[in-house]
Chains A and B, each alone.
Chain A
Amino acid sequence: ETAVFQTPNYHVTQVGNEVSFNCKQTLGHDTMYWYKQDSKKLLKIMFSYNNKQLIVNETVPRRFSPQSSDKAHLNLRIKSVEPEDSAVYLCASSPFSQNTLYFGAGTRLSVL
């Protein structure tokens, strides 16, 4: 049963708009992540975040920013979307000192 919840499932927008995606996990995990999965299914880490530390993949454009209110929530904001941002954004979480990732169902973004 899914315990990492992402909204929305789909989002269609135009170049230059701002979008925000939400992610909530009910597993009590300490660390959350955002991954980007492109049209060829390639997965790339974007951010890793726990209460103490945000790690940013240096290849992620600055228009992307994570936002967290507590350890159960990690949202993703894109300030001004570009066509190459079209992808599926996957949120995940993992417990402290364990490696297994628990993924949400993803948010599919289409930029027109």
Chain B
Amino acid sequence: GEKVEQHQSTLSVREGDSAVINCTYTDTASSYFPWYKQEAGKSLHFVIDIRSNVDRKQSQRLTVLLDKKAKRFSLHITATQPEDSAIYFCAASPSGGSNYKLTFGKGTLLTVTP
């Protein structure tokens, strides 16, 4: 089955700097890659996603890049703010996008220090 690796368990940046969180996946059939955010003591909520028909997607300060050859995707956050501090989970699912087959990474704790 699919395996999604998040190579950074923690990441610390200064407010205003950029943060990059990297993920890799193993299944070439994966075509949908969402990111979720979990703030301390709260549940997960969706932040951004990308599908395999594009290699870049931007939403305000967030950009997701997808490299299908390397089976790698990343979340870029520019002009970080303390409220960006959270655990970020990447995930992947195969063609058809069934949520049942969504595999999550282990999460990266991003800390933005003022």
Contacts and interface: CB of A to CB of B under 8 A. Distances in A.
A is bound by B: yes
Interface of A: 2, 31, 33, 40-45, 48, 55, 90, 94, 99-106
17 contacts: A33-B100, A41-B38, A41-B106, A42-B107, A45-B102, A48-B98, A94-B99, A99-B32, A99-B93, A99-B99, A99-B102, A100-B34, A100-B46, A101-B102, A102-B45, A104-B43, A105-B43
A40 to B, nearest CB: 7
Chain B CB within 10 Å, residue with most, of A55, A99, A100, A103: A99
Given A99-B32, A99-B49, A105-B43, A31 B99 contact: yes
Tell me whether chain B's interface is mostly helix, strand or loop, or mixed: strand
B81 to A, nearest CB: 21
A42 B106 contact: yes
A31 to B, nearest CB: 7
B99 A43 contact: no
B55 to A, nearest CB: 19
Contacts of B104: 42-44
B106 A99 contact: no
Given A42-B106, A43-B104, A99 B42 contact: no
Contact of B99 (A40, A48, A90): A48
B100 A101 contact: no
Contact of A106 (B36, B43, B45, B99): B43
The 5 closest A-B pairs by CB, nearest first: A48-B100, A43-B104, A103-B43, A103-B44, A41-B107
Nearest to B104: A43
Contacts of A103: 36, 43-45
A33 B107 contact: no
B16 to A, nearest CB: 27
Contacts of A90: 43-44
A44 B91 CA distance: 11
B43 A45 contact: no
